[in-house]
Amino acid sequence: MAFVATKDSTFEIILKKGFKVKPGSIFISGFHGLGEVGFLSTAHLTRTLEAERVGFIKSDMLPLFVSMENDKMVLPFEIYSYTEKNMIFFVPRFQPHQSEQWGFIEHLANWIMEQKFDEVLLLGGLDASFKEGEEDMRAVPTNTYRTKLDKWNVPVLEEGLFVAGPLALLLAHLEMNESPAIGLLTYATRGRPDPRSAASMLEKINDVFGVSANVDQLIEESKEIERLEKMRKSIESDSDPSQMYL
């Protein structure tokens, strides 16, 4: 498979030869923030929809790791295409290195705007301790996304709460450049991966875009994590010296 670089710099987006993003496509990504919801959601979408890998991102601080998945090598920053719904996924298996996050996100935002995506979905987690009421999701839209917001039927993030990390940087850059984007945040457990929260995210995306991303695996992973968490707490409680005496 041949690939060609779209930009000759320390930040390169390397796309499959002949591949072009169709105007009006949808860009979806998420990072390793709270509960790893953004990454888990995006990575699971690419797997369950059987999206095609069409590119990579190379930078000066590229993590020194590769891995295997379904008998294929996977790299730290990959781009996938789901042609049936004109969706492009950016899957960051690691956070961009802290020392280059500003430049990395700026380059990525510029590429997103050059491709003229119809909308940009940035997925993440929100601390479940702030949850009020029954809604399990909050939205952070750019001003130019407001006309599309109603289809999500999701309340906007309450005043006084903040989005942090690469997702916040990307949203800010797109807002400053009047690009249509929305941050979607599901409530998640702090301190561990939360596949159940990612499953809630995918169910909403399934509903809005009419895709069929199966969430069964995420639910099973969540049950196992919750089981191990309960076991850990039980062991810690049993080993607490204060519980040894009456």
How wide is the angle at C-alpha 143 spanned by C-alphas 130 and 161, nearest 5°?
15
Residue 159 lies in a domain: yes
Q: Does residue 210 carry a pLDDT above 50?
A: yes
Predicted local confidence at residue 95, as pLDDT: 87
The letter for the amino acid at 65 is F
DSSP assignment, residue 158? P
Segment 198-219 mean pLDDT: 90
As for how many domains the chain has, the answer is 1
Predicted local confidence at residue 6, as pLDDT: 59
Residue 112 lies in a domain: yes
CATH number at residue 168: 3.40.50.10900
213: helix, strand or coil: coil
Range of the domain at 144: 8-240
Residue 3 lies in a domain: no
Average pLDDT score over the chain: 87
- Can you say whether the dihedral through the CA atoms of 234, 236, 239, 243 is positive or negative? negative
Confidence of residue 225 (pLDDT cuts 50, 70, 90): low
Residue 1 lies in a domain: no
Residues ≥6 apart with Cβ < 8 Å to 176: none
pLDDT digits (tens, 9 = 90+) for 64-101: 888 898 888 989 999 999 999 999 999 999 888 888 88
